[in-house]
């Protein structure tokens, strides 16, 4: 055999070995993506299969160990894209672009995270899994910040139904729960890096850490059982939640009229049960009430606004409703400019009416990226134009953390996905809110999974601040969560109905999370950086000595 022929055979064998290895590693990443998605509410399970979360990332950590540096970046891109395409499959019903944009963003995140985890693995062959867990918490926290902030998929949220386990959120926020959930995957991923046969040796070396983790979980559960309490003796706020089961943005004026009729008829029935307040969902009433009351730029919408205000004037109970709040962009110019365009900016808002009079307004602060807000029009005009051409509705950003008050109860109203950000609810509570009221529209997804994932995150906002949380959604999930995260009432999704229920107003307890916010996540980042820096210095010193 010639040397050329031998070289060809050798290259072929090397390629076959690489192909087998890459196939196994890609299948492991795909397995992790599926397990991760199943741990959350999905098509398979309405509430999600929480125990899966503890092992769902094991395949990722195995691949981190076994893969080469050349493979780690494409593997990160593959895992991030596939995971969020499966987990957030319902984004495709919102717009085809959404199911491309969001997974692409997460592919980019994991392109950076995977090399970091690999680097930690090389720096700390023995205890790298502890630093990797800290890095994971840092990743989860950082991806909630800024314009692209998106908390869906934080692994701690899989535990929303395991109430004793997540009471620690009142101290650490969701981040402490995430740490307890991700640590077993990091530990076992290290244990199985040499295959199943290597587990015994790893456990023998690291059994003390495993016992410590079990003790930590036990303490966490004991804490959870001890802090949960009965709210039957707390003051009660009787609320009527109206779920009219319609995507309020679809159909134009005729649809707005139909929706208003449903809202009005359901409200008339609900007030027979003597609620203290009636609550409609996000943008339940679309035409801007304030705008059309001031400026008659559209006679048909003005007539519908007049009908709403006349109805509210007949009601003896306060009404809280979501609305497209239009305001003059330039107060020195008329509402309609000479070229026919409107001198107008719009806010996604909540209006409180009492005795038929507008009492107060909250304007949404944290807007949905791309679909509600794109601040880079000048920098990326092409992307901006694509969004405009696809009929995305842009809002202005509110600035005030409004605390409403009616009937002696103080409350604040995060709109839509604002209740998935811990910092917002915390800020409202620090400003005096006794109850958190989330007005949302998840009907566009047409998906129970989407609505249940959103509900699960709301559970944590209640526990973090020890405040009851009310959800008024136009198609689900409409209900009430008590300060310990118990879902005490819930309407059937995708039905037009109302719910009249009592909400405990308990302000006896304040929390470490309300006082100090996301300190646990920040500490995790600092510790991860400190360990990595120490590891680098240790390697440098060893090389100098060598």
- What is the DSSP annotation of 85-140? HHHTTTHHHH-TTHHHHHHHHHHHHHHHHHHHHHHHHHH-TTTHHHHHHHHHHHHH
Give the CB-side neighbour count of residue 339, counting CA atoms within 13 A. 3
**pLDDT, position 16:** 83
Annotated catalytic residue, options 25, 118, 416, 464:
416
What's the rounded Cα separation, in Å, for the pair 210 and 189?
Answer: 13
Torsion of Cα atoms, 181 then 445 then 246 then 46, to 10°:
-40
pLDDT tens per residue, range 407-437: 999 999 999 989 999 999 999 999 999 999 9
**pLDDT, position 390:** 63
Annotation says 135 is catalytic: no
What's the rounded Cα separation, in Å, for the pair 71 and 238?
Answer: 58
State the pairing for strand pair 319-328/487-490. Answer: unpaired
- Cα torsion angle, 374, 36, 132, 464, sign: positive
pLDDT tens per residue, range 261-313: 999 999 999 999 999 999 999 999 999 999 999 998 899 999 999 999 999 99
Annotation says 492 is catalytic: no
Confidence of residue 138 (pLDDT cuts 50, 70, 90): very high
**pLDDT, position 10:** 76
Q: What is the mean pLDDT of residues 106-117?
A: 96
Give the containing element (helix H, strand E) for 68: none
Confidence of residue 100 (pLDDT cuts 50, 70, 90): confident
What's the rounded Cα separation, in Å, for the pair 438 and 432?
Answer: 16
Give helix then strand counts, H and E, for the chain: 18, 12
What's the rounded Cα separation, in Å, for the pair 110 and 175?
Answer: 19
- Say whether pLDDT at 64 is over 60: yes
pTM of the model: 0.93
What's the rounded Cα separation, in Å, for the pair 156 and 524?
Answer: 15
Confidence of residue 391 (pLDDT cuts 50, 70, 90): low
Annotated catalytic residue, options 25, 135, 140, 364:
364
Reading the block at residue 533, the tokens are: 């820096």
- Say whether pLDDT at 6 is over 80: no
pLDDT tens per residue, range 194-248: 677 677 888 888 889 999 999 999 999 999 999 999 999 999 999 999 999 987 7
- Nearest Cα neighbor of 294 from 207, 358, 363 is 358
Annotation says 364 is catalytic: yes
What does the buried/exposed string (b/e) look like for 382-400 if buried means 16 or more CB atoms within 10 Å of the residue's CB?
eebeebeeeebebbbebee
pLDDT tens per residue, range 493-522: 999 999 999 999 999 999 999 999 999 999
**pLDDT, position 307:** 96
Return the percentage of the chain with pLDDT > 70, whole number: 96
For the chain, the average pLDDT equals 92
Is 487:479 a contact under the CB 8 Å cutoff? yes
Annotated catalytic residue, options 25, 140, 282, 418:
282
Confidence of residue 1 (pLDDT cuts 50, 70, 90): low
Confidence of residue 250 (pLDDT cuts 50, 70, 90): confident
Using a 10 angstrom Cβ sphere, with 0-12 exposed, 13-18 middle and 19 or more buried, the burial of residue 272 is: exposed
End-to-end CA distance of the chain: 45
pLDDT tens per residue, range 443-479: 877 889 999 999 999 999 999 999 999 999 999 899 9
What's the rounded Cα separation, in Å, for the pair 469 and 446?
Answer: 23
- Nearest Cα neighbor of 137 from 534, 529, 458 is 529
Residue with the bigger pLDDT between 331 and 369: it is 331
**Phi (first) and psi of residue 212, to 5 degrees:** -60, -40
**Phi (first) and psi of residue 100, to 5 degrees:** -95, -45
What percent helix, strand, coil does the chain show, rounded to 5? 55, 15, 30
């Amino acid at each position: 055999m010639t040397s050329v022929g031998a070289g060809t055979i050798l290259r072929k064998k090397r390629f076959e070995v690489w192909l087998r290895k890459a196939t196994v590693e890609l299948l492991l990443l795909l397995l992790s993506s599926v397990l991760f998605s199943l741990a959350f509410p999905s098509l398979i399970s309405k509430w999600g299969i929480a125990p899966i979360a503890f092992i769902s990332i094991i395949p990722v950590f195995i691949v981190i160990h076994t893969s080469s540096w050349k493979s780690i970046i494409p593997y990160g891109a593959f895992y991030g894209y596939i995971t969020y395409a499966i987990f957030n499959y319902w984004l495709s019903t919102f717009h085809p672009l959404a199911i491309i944009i969001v997974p692409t963003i997460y592919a980019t995140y994991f392109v950076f995270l995977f090399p970091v985890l690999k680097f930690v693995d090389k720096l700390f062959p023995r205890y790298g899994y502890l630093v990797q867990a800290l890095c994971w918490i840092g990743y989860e926290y950082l991806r909630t910040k800024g314009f692209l902030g998106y908390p869906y998929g934080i692994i701690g949220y899989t535990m929303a139904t395991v109430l004793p386990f997540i009471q620690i959120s009142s101290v650490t926020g969701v981040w402490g729960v995430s740490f307890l959930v991700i640590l077993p995957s990091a530990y076992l991923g290290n244990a199985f890096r040499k295959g199943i046969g290597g587990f015994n040796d790893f456990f023998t070396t690291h059994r003390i850490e495993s016992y410590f983790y079990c003790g930590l979980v036990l303490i966490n559960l004991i804490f959870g059982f001890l802090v949960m309490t009965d709210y039957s003796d707390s003051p009660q706020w009787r609320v009527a939640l109206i779920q009219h089961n319609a995507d309020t943005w679809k159909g134009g004026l005729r649809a707005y009229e139909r929706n208003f009729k449903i809202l009005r008829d359901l409200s008339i029935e609900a007030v027979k049960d003597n609620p203290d307040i009636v609550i409609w969902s996000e943008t339940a009433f679309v035409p801007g009430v304030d705008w059309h009351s001031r400026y008659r730029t559209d006679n048909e919408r003005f007539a519908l606004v007049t009908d709403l205000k006349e109805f509210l004037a007949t009601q003896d109970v306060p009404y809280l409703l979501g609305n497209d709040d239009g305001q003059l962009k330039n107060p020195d110019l008329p509402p309609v400019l000479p070229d026919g365009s409107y001198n107008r900016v719009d806010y996604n808002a909540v209006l409180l009416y009492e005795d038929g009079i507008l009492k107060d307004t909250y304007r949404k602060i944290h807007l949905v990226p791309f679909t509600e807000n794109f601040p880079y029009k000048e920098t990326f005009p092409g992307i901006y134009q694509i969004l405009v051409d696809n009929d995305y509705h842009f809002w202005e950003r509110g600035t005030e953390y409004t605390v409403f008050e009616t009937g002696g109860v103080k409350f604040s109203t995060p709109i839509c996905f604002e209740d998935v950000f811990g910092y917002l609810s915390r800020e409202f509570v620090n400003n005096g809110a006794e109850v958190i009221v989330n007005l949302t529209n998840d009907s566009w997804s047409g998906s129970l999974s989407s609505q249940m994932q959103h509900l699960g995150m709301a559970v944590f906002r209640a526990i973090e601040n020890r405040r009851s949380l009310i959800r008024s959604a136009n198609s689900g999930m409409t209900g009430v969560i008590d300060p310990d995260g118990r879902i005490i009432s819930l309407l059937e999704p995708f039905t037009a109905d109302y719910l009249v229920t009592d909400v405990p107003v308990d302000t006896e307890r304040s929390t470490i999370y309300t006082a100090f916010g996301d300190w646990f996540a920040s500490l995790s980042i600092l510790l991860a950086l400190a360990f990595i820096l120490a590891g680098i210095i240790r390697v440098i010193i060893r090389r100098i000595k060598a």
